[in-house]
Structure 1
Amino acid sequence: MVSQTLLKILTGKFAAGITLWPFVILRNHALKENAVFLNHEKIHLKQQAELLIVFFYLWYGIEYVAHWCRLKNKKQAYYRISFEREAYANETNLRYLEKRKMFAFWRYV
């Protein structure tokens, strides 16, 4: 789904996309063709499913707030979230999800 307005409401001008189970919301249509970007978002879909969706969002929020309180920097806090660390570390491996073990994000906590 492409929605600049919804993305701006949810993330400000920070993100090019966001995954809200079962949807991936993109800033523009060109991102639909970006395999690396889509793989990053698919990793988040897998993480969300593993944690039964609601626990993913709780954990994500708690981790973000904890990092933000410590670092006092929104962008740095975002990049320290374990779910983001896993997704960024593996987004270029387009076969990552085929081999990914359950709860693989735990390595990045």
Structure 2
Amino acid sequence: MILISKYIVPRGYLGITIFPFMFLRSRDLIGNRRLVNHEKIHLQQQIELLVLPFYLLYVLEFMIRLMQYKKWSIAYRHISFEREAYDNESDKGYLKSRPYWNFLSYF
């Protein structure tokens, strides 16, 4: 389910997925198929990891990447969950053919 909220989506980002919702910063982003597909990939990742472990791993890996790269934006882009989503956001059929736990191949 897609919801619109400029307050939930952090500044500098267009969307965020918090199971089972996809929050977009503005209504016009609903038509952005690339962004929506990116967030759907995150939904699938969250489902595979039974939601809570996804968030724990996400934060842990972000902290490790932040220590490694020392810059927020670079650390964020190197999180395995984000790399999978960014690499495949333009492939509309990706979720149909995606193997389970595919984010592990990005570690």
TM-score by length of 2: 0.96
Distance 1:14 1:46 in 2: 23
Matched with 1:87 is 85
Contiguous gaps of at least 5 residues in structure 1: none
Q: Name the counterpart of 1:106.
A: 104
Counting aligned pairs with the same residue, the percent is: 43
What amino acid does structure 1 have at the position aligned with 2:56?
A: L
Whichever residue aligns with residue 98 of structure 1, its letter is: K
Task: Report the equivalent of 2:8.
Answer: 6
What pairs with 1:22-61 in structure 2 (closer than 5 Å)? 22-61=20-59
Measured on the aligned residues, the alpha-carbon RMSD in Å equals: 0.7
Runs of 4+ in 1 over 4 A off after TM superposition: none
TM-score of the superposed pair, with normalisation by structure 1:
0.94
In 2, distance between residues paired with 1:103 and 1:6?
A: 27
Normalized per residue, the structure richer in helix is 1
Aligned positions, number: 105
Structure 2 Cα separation of the partners of residues 74 and 65 of structure 1: 10
Local SS of the residue matching 1:5: coil
- The runs of 5 or more residues in structure 2 that have no matched partner are none
Letter in 1 for 2:5: S
